[in-house]
Structure 1
Amino acid sequence: MVARALWYVKPGVAEVRPERLSPPALGEARIATEYSAISRGTERMVALGEIPKSEWPRMRAPLQAGDFSFPVKYGYSATGRVTAGPESYAGKRVFVLHPHQDHFHAPEGLLAILPDNVPSRRAVLAANMETALNAHWDAGTAPGDRILVVGAGIVGLLTAHLASRITGTEVAIADINPARAKYAEALGIKFVSPSDVPADNRIVFHASATSVGLETAINACAFEGCVIEMSWYGTNPVTVNLGGAFHSRRLKIISSQVGHVAPSHRNQLKHKDRMERAIAMLDDERLDVLVADDVSFEDLPSMLPKIWSSPDLPPIVRY
């Protein structure tokens, strides 16, 4: 059959290309895509050609085609139904770390079966939820902690959502865009402006991908508090003030990146185990507010420039 896939062909330009699919090989499944998610973080940098050459090998998506910088088929959040392949997966709904494409093949080992209580539309959040879960493992979040999240994008909101589910925590999320307050409110999380962030937080998750946001995160830490840096800046330099009281307050900045399972859980869990846990955590209807808007796959190339520049949360792709 002939499938259709989105390719980034030069900075800011994408197109849909045909792709011939042979029958699935042994151990492969064919998936008819239902939805996929757009990342305004890493994927946006890929689309705009902002991946540093030094990171090209490390930043490859699991089922990426082509090479950085262009042309490249990139993405990692697709849900769909298995239409051919291993008998044990026949007809099942799955999540796969695959780029935007209407039909595709994937190795059996990369298929995560979706439980009945997690609809396919919401399940595209699985990769972002996995990032949020890994960040909490890096942070060692505990009951009763005072926690701030700086940056109310998808990853920031999911990180705050997980924090709020831990007994006794006091959680707030900050963003320069007041329109993001509606998402926090829907999730039952306190929203504040950067000028009103609560102080003395034991853990501050930074997910704004800006120098100003990182500065806000550092200043909001309690004595011997910790900033979990979840942002990735690509080729963009970052300026941060480590003078003042940074050393006297004995603060820490820890990088959290989803490419490896956090050290606290690495000996017990593999990537597939972490993904299964992340998907199970999507059993919450309140999270549907994060996937309320969509764009058709056919319209995606023409809509991407607006999506990259919009202050709103990105829509998901509907097939």
Structure 2
Amino acid sequence: MNYKSFWHLQNNHSEIISESIEMPNSDKIEISSLYSSISLGTETIVSQGKVPPSLHEKMAVPYMVGSFNFPIKYGYSLVGTNNNGALIHVMHPHQTTCWVEEKDCFVCSEQSDPILATQLANMETVINAIWVSDVQPNQKVLVCGLGSVGVLLAETLRGYCQAVVYVKEKDEGKVAILAKNGFTIAKETDAFTLSFHVSTSEKGLQYCIDHAAEEGKIIELSWYGNHPIQLNLGGNFHYNRLQIISAQVSAIPLIKKNSEDFFSRKKLAEKLVHTIPIRDYISLIPFEELPYFFNHKINTNFITVVKY
């Protein structure tokens, strides 16, 4: 049986490769891919070989093939149908047909939109960040960096948490869209008791530090791979007794481990992606264009989803 998969072969060189499998294991479920989501920050780091050796084991994802030293088949959050026509979400690299364990499959509701369902993994990251932040209704909060996770986070904080959301984004095109959609653009005079940093840049994190109010919390969702960053912690950070809290990893936060699990979080994520207005932030690209997308570092607005 033939299928196609997306590989990073070396630093900044990616290709779609035709592969074949003689007899898929009878205990595996066959998934015909419809859409998969690109996690641009993480996948770009992988495509450039910037995952630190010390994190190779922790950064491995389900059904990944190869190694972070290249070649590697990497990616996650894929949506397709099984042989019964049910819509399935599974953590899997970009591939036209997949064979996966039943335990790894999340069966979406019959009303689920397959394009929106690709954002379940990103929404789980958003949920983790919200859980550890203890955000309150009507709290003035900042989201710095409006990529795929950032825009989901901003809309969820506004619609689900009822927070007053300010945004900071350097891309002028995105800023115009965010302003049109009712978000307040942060000014230099603003200060925040709670900030969420998602820009994957030291400048963004420094902005959050410099614009934090007394005893403010900064929830760090960016991941930098092996790229070191420099921060100025000599001023506002200590003077205002700030906290920087990581929310990057997928594990259930300790404060929720007695009441939530991976399944309940996934169900909440499914509810949120279908109730929070995110469809207009999504851009589709054909599977065949994935190599060009990564090799030429195409930067589409907000969320990029692959169509098979």
TM-score by length of 2: 0.93
The Cα offsets for residues 65-91 of structure 1, whole Å up to 9 and x where unpaired, read as 1111211110011111112xxxxxx21
- Please list the CA deviations of residues 100-128 of structure 1 after superposition, one character each: whole Å capped at 9, or x if unmatched: 00000111111112223431112111111
Check if 1:251 corresponds to 2:242.
Answer: yes
Residues 16-165 of structure 1: pairs in structure 2 closer than 5 A = 16-22=16-22, 24-25=24-25, 27-83=27-83, 90-165=84-159
Residue 138 of structure 1, CA deviation: 1.3
**C-alpha distance in 1, partners of 2:76/2:210?**
34
For this pair of structures, how many residues does the alignment match? 308
Q: Does 1:281 align with 2:275?
A: no
Provide the C-alpha distance between the structure 1 equivalents of 2:170 and 2:289, rounded to a whole number of angstroms: 29
SS in 1 for 2:290: helix
Q: Give how far 1:237 is off.
A: 1.1
Alignment of 1:145-294 (within 5 A): 145-166=139-160, 168-185=162-179, 188-192=182-186, 196-197=187-188, 199-284=190-275, 286-291=277-282, 293-294=283-284
Distance 1:252 1:263 in 2: 17
Amino acid at match of 2:59: M
2:289 match: 299
Calculate the TM-score normalised by the size of structure 1: 0.90
> Cα distance 1:113–1:189, how it changes in 2: closer, same or farther (>3 A)?
farther
Could you tell me which amino acid in structure 2 is paired with residue 126 of structure 1? L
Point out where structure 2 has 5 or more consecutive residues left out of the alignment. none
Shift of 1:170: 1.2
Deviation at 1:26, TM superposition (A): 5.1
Per-residue deviation, 1:303: 3.0
Deviation at 1:181, TM superposition (A): 2.4
Distance 1:224 1:117 in 2: 43
Q: Which amino acid aligns with 1:177?
A: D
Counterpart Cα distance in 1 of 2:47 and 2:169: 24
CA RMSD, 1 decimal = 1.9
Percent same amino acid at aligned positions? 31
Q: Summarize the Cα distance change of 1:272–1:187 in structure 2 as closer, same or farther, 3 Å threshold.
A: farther
Whole-Å Cα distance in 2 between the matches of residues 242 and 141 of structure 1? Answer: 24
1:3–1:149: structure 2 CA closer, same or farther, 3 Å change rule?
same
Distance 2:249 2:105 in 1: 18
1:315 aligns with 2:304: yes
Q: Secondary structure at the match of 1:63?
A: coil
Asked if structure 2 preserves the Cα contact closer than 8 Å seen for 1:150 and 1:174, the reply is yes
d(CA) in 1 for partners of 2:138 and 2:182? 17
Whole-angstrom CA distance in 2 between matches of 1:131 and 1:82: 26
Distance 1:191 1:200, change over 3 A: closer
Deviates more, 1:21-30 or 1:59-68: 21-30
SS of 1:9's partner is strand
Q: Name the CA shift for 1:116/1:106 in 2 (closer, same or farther; >3 Å).
A: same
